[in-house]
Amino acid sequence: MGKFSRLGNDLYTGRKSVDFVGKTRVWYAISGLIIIAAVLGLYFKGLNFGLEFRGGAQFTVSMPANEATQDNADQLRDDVAGTGIAAAQQVVVTTAGKNSIIVETEPVTPAEGNQISTTIQQSVGVTKADISTDEIGPSWGKEVAKRSAIGLVVFLVLVTLMIWGYFRQWKMSVAAMVALSHDLLITVGIYALSGFEVTPATVTGVLTILGFSLYDTVVVFDKVRENTKNLRSTHQTYAEAANLAVNQTLVRSINTSIVALIPVGAILYVGAVQLGSGPLKDLALALFVGMAAGAYSSIFIATPLLAHLKSLEPDVQELEKRVKARRRHQVDPYAQVPVYTDDMPVAAEAPLTGDREEQTAAARSGGARPQPNTDATGRGRVVPPSRGPVRPSSSSGRAQPSRKSKSKRGKK
């Protein structure tokens, strides 16, 4: 943990840095492959909607301890399908813990329901009191889907306006919404590939991950705003300041994601392995996939996309040019000093030679006086203008004092 803490401190101060923003194409390619797999799963397998959405009959069979095995579930599936009832041909049989098995069929009539109940009693040796029957109409599932869609749209609109108003930058709202759509598509694709049923608990989990995904993204964006507030004084480009913000929040994002994923993973294991069926595993799978995708998108998608959108602004491009010019000067401060050539104009020769005798001779002969170069030669430096030509000094004909030894000083 000590090394991890030192790494976090180095990332925060900038002594160490991971180039998240500079490798945008790599992260886009990885996300593109994941999204393609999710879309293919949706296209070829589709979502396995639960009984609450498609409607039907559900028979819950209570059994003695440890008898709700997969062998009994397979036996029930074959026996119920063998009744010849059309609604029972696509029967779904799953275990629910160690004491019950759930049998799901299409909507059936009361007579067909009694026939299926009798078949279950004969198949696994239970009584009629051990079987509970629930009839669910598809209209309830449609109402749940409709209200969930309305809630999702309202949520997205309000969050977009909130991010826009808080950060005062619509490009942050766009980047956050793209990252959120990325998380939702991956979560839905994982559901299609895994074959888990889509139940109202799944919808609850999907709506929950929206807030978690945006929470992590907003934290990173807040640090980006702090780092880019005074870019001129920090001598950084917008992309570098944004990348520093991601590095500064990296350890925090990893820690919070791990802390959140551990209990959700435990719930997923209990719901899928121990219980076998029920809303617990549906909720946990949506939360687990959505949280993992949200942590990934806030680091690898949202901030790089924001930096890319900001790089199209003229002010950001101009700042980037100034920063690069400053760094070139820092590497070689004499890179802009002109090099002497034979065809250089006379006005530029005298300042380059540095020979004062030639300048004096040119002035005495009445030749053209070379003018000093007043262009800036370095960072923040401006050559002062000349006050006049250099003339011969009146003291040039006088006898100049000579240095005498100490013993002869004061003697004539």
d(CA 25, CA 379): 35
Q: How many C-beta atoms surround the C-beta of residue 378 within 10 A?
A: 12
Note down pLDDT in tens along the chain; length 412 residues: 556 556 666 666 666 777 888 888 888 899 889 899 888 888 888 887 777 777 778 888 888 777 777 777 788 888 888 877 877 777 778 777 677 888 888 877 888 888 888 888 888 778 888 888 877 776 766 777 788 788 778 888 888 888 888 878 888 888 888 888 888 888 888 888 887 778 777 887 887 877 777 888 888 888 888 888 877 777 788 888 888 888 888 888 888 888 888 888 888 887 776 665 566 777 788 888 888 888 888 888 888 888 888 888 888 888 888 877 777 766 666 555 666 666 666 554 444 444 555 555 555 555 555 555 544 444 445 556 667 776 766 666 666 667 777 777 666 5
Q: Could you tell me which CATH number the domain at 7-49+140-321 has? A: 1.20.1640.10
Which residue in 221, 227, 207, 228 sits closest to 297, CA to CA?
221
pTM of the model: 0.65
d(CA 89, CA 45): 19
Domain boundaries, the chain: 7-49+140-321, 56-136
d(CA 88, CA 82): 8
Q: How many C-beta atoms surround the C-beta of residue 241 within 10 A?
A: 21
Helical residues (DSSP H) of 86-199, grouped into ranges:
110-124, 138-167, 170-194
Asked whether the beta carbons of 340 and 352 are under 8 A apart, the reply is yes
At 86, which amino acid appears?
Answer: A
CATH 3.30.230.10 is the classification of domain 56-136: no
